Chain A
Amino acid sequence: MKTLVLLIIIWPLIGFLINGLFGKWTKKYAGVIAASALGLSFLSAVYPMWQVLLGNIYDYVYFMWMPFGKINIPFGLRLDSLSTVMLFVVTFVSWMIHIYSNGYMKGDPGYARYFTYLNLFVFSMLLLILGDNYLLMFVGWEGVGLCSYLLIGFWYDKKTASDAGEKAFVVNRIGDAGFIIGVLFILFNFHSVTYADVFPFVHQVLTPETATIIGLALFLGAMGKSAQFPLYIWLTDAMEGPTPVSSLIHAATMVTAGVYMVARSNAIYDMSPIAMEVVASVGAFTAFYAATMALTHKDIKRILAYSTLSQLGYMFIGVGVGVYWAGIFHLMTHAFFKGLLFLGAGAVMHSMRGLLSTDLMGGLRKKMPQTAVLMVIASLAISGIPPFAGFFSKDAILAGALDMGHPIIWIVGEITAFMTAFYMFRFVFSVFYGEEKVPNLYHELHTHEAPKVMTIPMWVLGVLSIIGGWVGLHISGEIPIEAFIARTAPTLEIANQAHYSEALIMGISVCIGLLGIFTAWVIYIKKWITADTIANTFRPIYTLLANTYYADEFVYFFIVKPFWWVSEYFLWKIVDVKIIDAGVDLFGWISKRIGWLFRTLQTGFVSHYAYWISIGVMLLTSLYLIRII
């Protein structure tokens, strides 16, 4: 069993090494190797996952990674209910996306490199979720950040792509500073970073104040990694990377690491209502903010990127109010339907030879029927329509928010749900329904359905988007997924926890979702009111949203430019040139002067040498005299 658990993370590592070292020779088979590695990883995980389902917990230490005497940091893997859910999501969805990538990346010159990075990414992600201590989680954290950078800037000769990669990495780093501070606090207080040493003793060691500090510091890291406001600016530019990358990293797995981290640290967050309030508020704000921006964009990947931001906000609402199981549940369903949405967008781009503006599409359903059906399924899931997956998880979060006493967050969440349904179906209707906006474009581009290697994984995810939420149904009195996750991350118990009528809440959510779909139908299919009319009526708001609230410009003027100014005029011109260079030059100058001094002594005149000799004699005798006087 111990080796089996280790194998789960070793398979992707082996795939990475094979493709990385021997990529030149495995050129054509790189994709097969990578996908098989993931498949093997998933298969290795099946038995352990089933065992955990039955109630076992596995915590294995493989070797002592950093033994410092009093503080020992082990290299260990922990499989409990929380990591099992994450494990299932990561291995299975990654496997599907690897298979899909075989078709999508075919013919790309960097084929082997792509799969190398993908396998490395999965390895880091698995390390993140299976590690049994914060430091190992941080190793995985950094690893996925690195792979994100590598994969976003995959087509590195394109300046926008490499800039986007850099932006992602730098913004991520800002969050990481917070994460490190949090881990250091934990290390300082508990003298250990292992989960088993920290969480059972939280009440004895921490005060609410220290718990707040730790919680906020760790959340800063989550904000960077999971792109919450204001550290979200990298996620939209990250769409420069290949679409499967966007699907895997920026929808299903990496960006959810922050949510996992908060859920894992539930014991610490339970002690600090302030930190939880911050988490939930930031999540709610981001959800609303991102959804507003998705209303106006025409780039299909951009829309999905803002949608991801918004759904991540939902997840943070879930873990922020205390219903940890709901946040993780939504993470799982989101991986299914958002992964599918991105894969579908990829299929559309693949058949449109890389074009991605909705202005150029329309009526694509005739050319790509399977993709269209799948995208509708996924959109229904994300809009929260039963019996699709998204309904159960989103409803659990919003009901939880209301029950835990955050009515404002509930209202914001419902408004955002309306917007979500609206923009998703705006996307679906403008791309797949209606007429071709540019006549004969499809004929010229030879638009056709995606190959089977791409559609089969999409169908698998589609099925999961339908049935994946059914673990959230009340079965004999309890919700299976809630009970399962609550073994590791129990829902917060608070006084006067309300229990609003479940049916009423569900009904309201469904109505709002249907309302959003109806509005999109009205505007984009029936065209009773066209989108342009609305845009012209609310021109100022429209401009603000279309330009993403000018956030990038804001950052550029207020953060980047001052930074550059200080670097150039102060640090370079003054510190580097005048102080450091002058200091080094001083040594050169001293050498020159000493050399000059000695050079001028060698005059060539013998009488001068005689002088020096007599001076030496005088000095020697004077020294002798000083001793005897």
Chain B
Amino acid sequence: MSVEIVVFAILAILAVGGGFGIIVTKNPFRAAMWMVLSFIGSAGIFVMLDAVFIAMLQLIVYAGAITVMIVIAMYTMDKLTLSSLKRFNNQAYFGALFGLGILLDFIVIAAKLKINTAYMGKNLSIAGSNVKAIGDVLFKSYLLPFEITAIVLLIALFGAVALTKKDL
């Protein structure tokens, strides 16, 4: 039982347990909290995989910005309407079944993965630091997608504004 596995187990339980929390709980505010917990678990896993910058990014963007956005949206609404009487749909069992099916499918695929692990864990040691590694690639090979993503964000902004305007 190495330390690595124990740590991984704890983080994994955090991530998955948070996920369960989201889909089970009735109160959406609580669900947001569970979401944060899940993201923290994910960030921990990222750190284990030598992607520290990405882990920080995850915490800032996901757990920070997105969760806050959702919670602020929830503030504008009436508490009673948010926690509606029923949690699940009428065909919830089918939903669970399909979810199980998807799970099984992907597990089988994941288990059959065969990759060339020659360079395992080398991306950190080559570049020295994760930020440097990402920066090296992002602004050289992936410059175009980077710019385009910027435009996507811009358009999402426009979209959000356009959807909520009173008159167009």
Find chain B residues with CB under 8 A from A608 CB: 91
The answer to whether A618 and B95 touch across the interface, beta carbons within 8 angstroms, is no
A238 and B130 alpha carbons, distance in the complex (Å): 112
Q: List 14 A-B contacts (CB under 8 A).
A: A611-B95, A614-B101, A615-B98, A618-B98, A618-B102, A618-B105, A621-B102, A621-B105, A621-B106, A622-B105, A624-B109, A625-B105, A625-B108, A628-B112
A537 at the interface (CB under 8 A from B): no
The answer to whether B102 and A617 touch across the interface, beta carbons within 8 angstroms, is yes
B158 at the interface (CB under 8 A from A): no
A611-B91, A628-B109, A628-B112 given; name 18 further pairs at CB < 8 Å.
A607-B89, A607-B91, A611-B94, A614-B98, A614-B101, A615-B98, A617-B105, A618-B98, A618-B101, A618-B102, A618-B105, A621-B102, A621-B106, A624-B109, A625-B105, A625-B108, A625-B109, A629-B108
5 shortest interchain CB distances as A-B pairs = A621-B105, A614-B98, A618-B101, A607-B89, A625-B108
The DSSP consensus for interface residues of chain B is: helix
Find chain A residues with CB under 8 A from B95 CB: 607, 611
Among B94, B99, B102, B105, which residue has the most Cβ atoms of chain A within 10 A?
Answer: B105
Find chain A residues with CB under 8 A from B108 CB: 625, 629
A625 and B108 alpha carbons, distance in the complex (Å): 8
A629 and B95 alpha carbons, distance in the complex (Å): 26
Pick the contact of B98 from A611, A621, A625 — CB < 8 Å? A611
Q: Which residue of A lies closest to B106 (CB)?
A: A621
Find chain A residues with CB under 8 A from B102 CB: 614, 617-618, 621
Q: Which residue of A lies closest to B105 (CB)?
A: A621
Find chain A residues with CB under 8 A from B89 CB: 607
A320 and B112 alpha carbons, distance in the complex (Å): 96
| CB of B111, distance to nearest CB on chain A (Å) | 11
Map CB proximity to A onto B105-119 as digits: 1 under 8 Å, 0 otherwise: 110110010000000
Which of B92-143 touch A at CB < 8 Å? 94-95, 98-99, 101-102, 105-106, 108-109, 112
Which of A6-39 touch B at CB < 8 Å? none
| CB of B145, distance to nearest CB on chain A (Å) | 26
Which of B64-95 touch A at CB < 8 Å? 89, 91, 94-95
Q: Count of A residues near B, CB < 8 Å?
A: 13
Residues of B in contact with A (beta carbons under 8 Å apart)? 89, 91, 94-95, 98-99, 101-102, 105-106, 108-109, 112
| CB of B67, distance to nearest CB on chain A (Å) | 23
A608 and B98 alpha carbons, distance in the complex (Å): 12
A618 and B98 alpha carbons, distance in the complex (Å): 8
Pick the contact of B109 from A611, A614, A615, A621 — CB < 8 Å? A621
Q: Which residue of B lies closest to A608 (CB)?
A: B91
A391 and B106 alpha carbons, distance in the complex (Å): 110
Find chain B residues with CB under 8 A from A618 CB: 98, 101-102, 105
| CB of B114, distance to nearest CB on chain A (Å) | 10
| CB of A614, distance to nearest CB on chain B (Å) | 5
Find chain A residues with CB under 8 A from B109 CB: 621, 624-625, 628
A255 and B46 alpha carbons, distance in the complex (Å): 108
| CB of A613, distance to nearest CB on chain B (Å) | 10
Find chain B residues with CB under 8 A from A629 CB: 108
A145 and B108 alpha carbons, distance in the complex (Å): 83
Find chain A residues with CB under 8 A from B101 CB: 614, 618
Find chain B residues with CB under 8 A from A614 CB: 98-99, 101-102
Which of A476-535 touch B at CB < 8 Å? none
| CB of B93, distance to nearest CB on chain A (Å) | 11
A614 and B94 alpha carbons, distance in the complex (Å): 11
Q: Which residue of B lies closest to A628 (CB)?
A: B112
Find chain B residues with CB under 8 A from A611 CB: 91, 94-95, 98
Find chain A residues with CB under 8 A from B91 CB: 607-608, 611
Find chain B residues with CB under 8 A from A615 CB: 98
Find chain B residues with CB under 8 A from A625 CB: 105, 108-109
| CB of A180, distance to nearest CB on chain B (Å) | 69
Find chain A residues with CB under 8 A from B105 CB: 617-618, 621-622, 625
A122 and B3 alpha carbons, distance in the complex (Å): 117
A34 and B102 alpha carbons, distance in the complex (Å): 91
A607 and B98 alpha carbons, distance in the complex (Å): 13
Q: Which residue of B lies closest to A605 (CB)?
A: B89
Find chain A residues with CB under 8 A from B98 CB: 611, 614-615, 618
Find chain B residues with CB under 8 A from A622 CB: 105
| CB of A504, distance to nearest CB on chain B (Å) | 112
A613 and B24 alpha carbons, distance in the complex (Å): 22
Find chain A residues with CB under 8 A from B94 CB: 611
A615 and B95 alpha carbons, distance in the complex (Å): 10
A614 and B95 alpha carbons, distance in the complex (Å): 9
A321 and B30 alpha carbons, distance in the complex (Å): 118
| CB of B81, distance to nearest CB on chain A (Å) | 18
A611 and B94 alpha carbons, distance in the complex (Å): 8
Q: Which residue of B lies closest to A612 (CB)?
A: B98
| CB of A207, distance to nearest CB on chain B (Å) | 80
Among B91, B95, B101, B112, which residue has the most Cβ atoms of chain A within 10 A?
Answer: B101
A622 and B105 alpha carbons, distance in the complex (Å): 7
A628 and B102 alpha carbons, distance in the complex (Å): 17
A517 and B91 alpha carbons, distance in the complex (Å): 108
| CB of B106, distance to nearest CB on chain A (Å) | 7
Q: Which residue of B lies closest to A617 (CB)?
A: B102
A611 and B108 alpha carbons, distance in the complex (Å): 21
Find chain B residues with CB under 8 A from A621 CB: 102, 105-106, 109
A621 and B99 alpha carbons, distance in the complex (Å): 13
